Amino acid sequence: MKTKWLKAQLRDLIELFVLPGMSMFLPWKLCFGFFKLVCRCDFLYRAQSTAVLSKVQGFDVPGLDAQQFAYQRRLVTLVDHADMFLVWTRGRKWLDKFVVTQGQWPAADSAAVLCTFHWGAGMWCLRDARLKGLKAHILVASLKKENFRGRPVLHWYAKLRTDTIARELGRATIDASQTLRSVLKALKSNEQIMAVVDVPADAVAGSTQVSLLGQTASVPKGLLRVAADNKIPVTVFTVGVCLQTGTRRLQIHTLPVEQDTDVLIPKVFAFLDAAIKDAPPAWHFWSEVDRFFLGSRTNKEI
């Protein structure tokens, strides 16, 4: 039992710190070339790649063979972890060189709700938003120790990542499990609220249904209801990873003010639908589809 526990910690140490941490010391092009090479090994990020293959079949996404899907999942996962170490050690010149931006952030002195998804690698968008003058607070899940039982290395990584997110935005995070009082206070102060909105409905107090990947999914509605009720503009952004060059592509879309939540929410999640169809392996929540979709077919193999 102890040997199994130690092996699990060693795997987490390698996958979360050792391999992605190499990005601090190597030029990015050289590092990304190494990442592509090591991600050909199927032992890496097995839970995030090979283990989710059975979840994908049955959804309205472009087909990929199992080997290619797993490889791309590993590579996106490794880049996403590496970005935490990169923002520690790289500055504005790195961002300008390796992050291509399409669209514009909302005005820095106006209230806004900024929505993104567990897709791609989003750390550098935080740096970009802060440099453009935004004063954004991000909603984060509570990092309760019991949720990481048997995974102390993963818990350590999660805390470091949350601290890094707060540092990059220059604002304190907001616990997503708390009341919306802090959210409303920030918006009334003409600051912005940022949130990763594709979380399972069973993790939030209120949810609604949308069409996603050709099926019916339950998604959170609380934050977007606040935006609609208070006539706050919503901006949707994603950060994709070019798997040939390692560059990031930040795409920003500001929606017209919408007071009808039932209209606004499908508009927001249409961007997630398009993102997953564009790069299916880049969605980090394939392992959680049973918590999103009603009657999802997740028992088939690719």
pLDDT at position 203, please?
67
Contact (CB, 8 A) for 250 and 239: yes
pLDDT at position 194, please?
98
Is 301 within the bounds of a domain? no
Is 297 within the bounds of a domain? no
Where does the chain show beta strands of DSSP type E?
99-102, 112-116, 136-140, 174-175, 192-196, 207-212, 215-220, 234-241, 248-254
pLDDT at position 274, please?
96
| Domain around 26 | 2-292
- Give every residue of the chain whose pLDDT is below 50, as ranges: 296-302
Residue 137: which of 159, 170, 88, 177 has the closest Cα?
A: 170
Is 302 within the bounds of a domain? no
Is 99 within the bounds of a domain? yes
Is 20 within the bounds of a domain? yes
Look-up: residue for tokens 């050690």?
Answer: 89
Residue 148: which of 298, 8, 263 has the closest Cα?
A: 8
Is 298 within the bounds of a domain? no
pTM: 0.94
Please give the distance of CA 62 from its chain centroid, rounded to a whole number: 21
Is 112 within the bounds of a domain? yes
Is 270 within the bounds of a domain? yes
Q: What DSSP assignment string belongs to 38-103?
A: HTTSTTTTGGGTGGGHHHHTTSSS----HHHHHHHHHHHHHHHHHHHHHHHH--HHHHHHHEEEES
pLDDT at position 301, please?
34
Helix and strand numbers (H, E) in the chain are: 12, 9
Count of structural domains, the chain: 1
